[in-house]
Amino acid sequence: MIGLVVVTSMPAIETDGLTKRFGADVLAVDDLDLTVEEGEVFGFLGPNGAGKSTTINVLLDFVRPTAGSARVLGLDAQADAAAIRERIGVLPEGGELYDRLTGREHLEWIARTNDLQESVDYEATLDRVGLTAEEAARPVGGYSKGMAQRLAFGMAILGEPDLLLLDEPSSGLDPTGMQEMRTIIREEADRGATVFFSSHILGEVESVCDRLGIMNEGRLVTTGTIDALRDELDLDASVSIEVDAVPDGLAADIESNEGVHAVETDGTTLTISVANPTRKIDAIRRVDERATVLDVRSTDTSLEQLFNTYTGNGEGEPEPSAAGFAGDETAETAAEVGR
Ligand SMILES: Nc1ncnc2c1ncn2[C@@H]1O[C@H](COP(=O)(O)OP(=O)(O)OP(=O)(O)O)[C@@H](O)[C@H]1O
Ligand SMILES: [Mg+2]
């Protein structure tokens, strides 16, 4: 007998006209059509109140949709919620921790409820999220915010789930913790997991996501790769490089390279506008071949512009509710050149 195996790839997450109202006045999610492919790292970005958590809560069957439907790993988010839960790792907004239980007991509890006892390596998981054995032996009531978030992250990745649903995983983490979290997200993707995570932090999304979606007032205003969104809006990234002396013809040489939009020279500083952030590194290398580089400053405000363009915050200062975008972007910028 000849067996025929048809392998079809199905999206990890698919919503169709998903709508959630709270009472008569609040339209939290408005006719959302979202597809996240298997194996993707997808960043779900938007300001406070955009509907990110509500969407995630529908995928988890914590909240029933008013209209439309959602499928997770090919299963119906409502009808098949129990089967879905066995295959996903979750970091809910605000966590779900019990003060009297230790960190380790939380992991054991997740392992028990997911039938994972045999296969779980608690030490390795704690190590990955940066909690020591001593910390894991303490009740969670005495944890700092960052430690609680690290534990919640460990609970999500325990048992190698097919899909991670993370609601603001970087919340409460310091810059080192955020970097570690990004590393884990990439590692999870590398072993084949799909990662769907919400964030306010544009730099975080840029450095770890394959694709992003921007939510505003319950609507998905755009989806795509960061580069595609930049191209669509014709946004520049730029880098300022201070050198000991600018050799003749250097600016023109750099400007003639693919992906370089403009080069301005001010004294011994070259400011190079490029089509996307990866071109910045090329530009720095080229300058470094011909001059002594004294300082490099990356001035990439384009994601903030991108967000403002789609959410209607205008060209100037972001609205107070979006203040995190400006601040976080600045914080990211210093680290970016080194990546
Ligand atoms: N249980 C609820 N009852 C009533 N309104 C709710 C409920 N949950 C969310 N909302 C409302 O739905 C809208 C979307 O909220 P949601 O929590 O999904 O936003 P978010 O994008 O996750 O925001 P944040 O970045 O602040 O976490 C908000 O107006 C919020 O007040
Ligand atoms: Mg939220």
Residues 206-221: pLDDT tens digits?
A: 778 999 999 999 999 9
Considering the domain architecture, whether residues 145 and 290 belong to the same structural domain is answered as no
In a domain, 305, yes or no: no
CA distance 66 to 207: 35
In a domain, 135, yes or no: yes
Residues 266 and 324: beta-carbon distance below 8 Å: no
**Ligand 1 neighbour 62 (Cβ under 6 A):** no
- Asked if residue 307 belongs to a domain, the reply is no
CATH number at residue 100: 3.40.50.300
Residues 292 and 321 in one domain: no
Kindly give the distance from the C-alpha atom of residue 200 to the centroid of ligand 2, in angstroms, as a whole number: 9
Contact 136, 126 (CB under 8 A): yes
Q: What is the pTM of this model?
A: 0.77
Residue 49 Cβ contacting ligand 1 at under 6 Å = yes
**Does one domain contain both 175 and 290?**
no
For the CA atoms of 79, 85, 87, 90, what is the dihedral angle to 10 degrees?
130
- 28 and 174 fall within a common domain: yes
Domain co-membership, 225 together with 240: no
Whether residue 240 is found in the same domain as residue 223: no
Q: Do 180 and 287 sit in the same domain of this protein?
A: no
Domain count, the chain: 2
Candidate of 19, 53, 217 to mutate for ligand 1, largest count of ligand atoms within 8 Å of Cβ: 53
Give, using CA atoms, the residue closest to atom 30 of ligand 1: 49
Query: What is the H or E stretch that residue 302 is in?
Result: helix 302-311
Q: Considering the domain boundaries, does residue 7 fall inside one?
A: no
Residues 214 and 260 in one domain: no
Decide if 302 contacts 235 (C-beta within 8 A). Answer: yes
Per-residue pLDDT band at 159 (split at 50, 70, 90): confident
Half-sphere exposure of 263 (CA within 13 A, CB side): 26
Mapped onto helix, strand or coil, the DSSP state of residue 200 is: coil
CA 103 to chain centre: 25
- Asked if residue 215 and residue 240 are part of one domain, the reply reads no
Model confidence at 339: pLDDT above 70: no
Ligand 1 within 6 A of CB of 48: yes
**In the sheet where 26-36 sits, what is the strand order?**
26-36, 13-22, 67-72, 75-76
Whether 266 is covered by a domain: the verdict is yes
Q: Which residues contact 171 (CB under 8 A, 6 or more apart)?
A: 149
Is the beta carbon of 109 within 6 A of some atom in ligand 1? no
Question: Among the listed ranges 1-5, 33-37, 117-121, 239-243, which one has the minimum average pLDDT value?
Answer: 1-5
- Report strand pairing: 13-22 vs 26-36: antiparallel
What CATH number does the domain containing 292 carry?
Answer: 3.30.70.100
Which atom belonging to ligand 1 lies closest to the Cα atom of 218? 14
Closest to 33 measured CA to CA, from 189, 172, 221: 221
Distance CA 191, CA 83 (A): 21
Q: Are residues 214 and 243 in the same domain?
A: no
The rounded Å distance from CA 90 to ligand 1 centre is 18
pLDDT digits (tens, 9 = 90+) for 273-302: 887 767 888 889 999 999 999 999 886 555
Residue 298 pLDDT: 81
Ligand nearest to the CA of 32: 1
Q: For residue 3, is it within any domain?
A: no
Q: 34 and 18, same structural domain?
A: yes
Domain limits for position 294: 236-300
Q: Kindly state whether residue 206 falls inside one of the protein's structural domains.
A: yes
Helices (DSSP H) in 117-239: which residue ranges?
A: 122-129, 133-136, 145-157, 175-190, 202-208, 226-233
Which of 25, 54, 198, 307 is the best mutation target for the ligand 1 pocket, counting ligand atoms within 8 Å of the beta carbon and taking the most? Answer: 54
Of 67-71, 116-120, 261-265, 274-278, where does the model show the most confidence?
67-71
- Lowest average pLDDT, out of 40-49, 63-72, 255-264, 301-310, goes to 301-310
User: Of 39-48, 116-125, 179-188, 326-335, which gets the smallest average pLDDT?
Assistant: 326-335
Identify the three-state secondary structure at position 15. strand
- 166 lies in a domain? yes
3-class SS of residue 175? helix
Please state the atom number of ligand 1 nearest to the C-alpha of residue 200. Answer: 25
Q: How far is the CA of 132 from the centre of ligand 2 (A)?
A: 29
**Span from the CA of 169 to the centroid of ligand 1 (angstroms):** 17
- 161 and 89, same domain (yes or no): yes
Question: Which residue lies with its CA nearest to atom 8 of ligand 1?
Answer: 54
